[in-house]
Amino acid sequence: MKTDGKLGDVLFTSAQIRSRVQELGAHITRDYAGKELTLIGVLKGGAMFAADLARAVRLPVSLEWIRLSTYADGAVAGEVRRKGVDLDADLRGRHVLLVEDLIDSGLTLAWLRDHLAAFGPASVESCVLMRMHKEDRIENRPVPRYVGFEVPSATWVAGYGIDYADRHRNLPDIHEYQLPVIAA
């Protein structure tokens, strides 16, 4: 028998998130001063973070979206399948900053970097709200240039755009999520 999982403790409050997003925005503003910057938010989980980060960057930026999934439509663990349409933006010569909710294995980020290279950007970097500690799983995993928070690898999270079973995206805080228990 399977029982539903539940929200656990708050890992990061909305105030902590807001503060960290402002710090990341200030750092990005300094690093990209005088450059053409395009933020590409990864949907759906990164939508709130990307929108807040765009407002925290004090430069003219363009904001684009791409939708990916690593477990959709019959994909196996670690396989990346793109959903939705490709980018309409002209990225030639522009600096691109991928904005994701979290990175665990790094496969999605690696795929995105390779995919976007075909668009001819001046550079492709990444900013993640949370980085999970799973170095033992993937060698040569991409290292995000900007990281909001570090999270232990065994932690599941929900809130601030991140879902569990398509629920809890609307929560202002990030909670630990306690997975469902499967009893015999």
**Vertex 108, ends 105 and 110: CA angle to 5°?**
90
Contact 122, 142 (CB under 8 A): no
Type of residue found at 70: T
**Element of type H or E holding 62:** strand 61-69
Say what the pLDDT of residue 7 is: 85
Residue among 23, 9, 32, 3 at smallest CA distance from 180 = 3
Is position 104 annotated as part of the catalytic site?
Answer: yes
- Tally of CB atoms within 10 A around 75: 12
Residue among 111, 98, 117, 99 at smallest CA distance from 69 = 111
Type of residue found at 15: A
Sheet holding 174-178, edge to edge: 6-12, 174-178, 157-158
User: Percentage of the chain with pLDDT > 90?
Assistant: 50
Catalytic residue among 73, 86, 90, 104: 104
Q: What is the mean pLDDT of residues 161-170?
A: 87
Say what the pLDDT of residue 156 is: 85
DSSP state of 51: H
DSSP state of 76: P
pTM, entire model:
0.85
The number of helices, as runs of H, and strands, as runs of E, in the chain is: 3, 9
Instruction: Convert the pLDDT of each residue in 124-139 to its tens digit.
Output: 999 999 998 655 555 5
pLDDT greater than 70 at residue 12: yes
DSSP state of 181: P
Tell me the H-state helices in 32-162.
47-56, 107-117
Q: What's the rounded Cα separation, in Å, for the pair 84 and 29?
A: 30
pLDDT greater than 70 at residue 182: no
Say what the pLDDT of residue 99 is: 96
> Taking all residues of the chain, what is their mean pLDDT, rounded to a whole number?
84
Length of the chain: 184
In angstroms, the Cα distances linking 64 to 42, 150, 159, 174, 175 are 9, 26, 22, 24, 27
DSSP state of 125: E
Instruction: Convert the pLDDT of each residue in 58-115 to its tens digit.
Output: 999 999 998 876 544 444 445 555 544 467 788 999 999 999 999 887 888 888 888 8
Q: What is the mean pLDDT of residues 40-64?
A: 95
Say what the pLDDT of residue 139 is: 56
Beta bridge partners of 174: 12
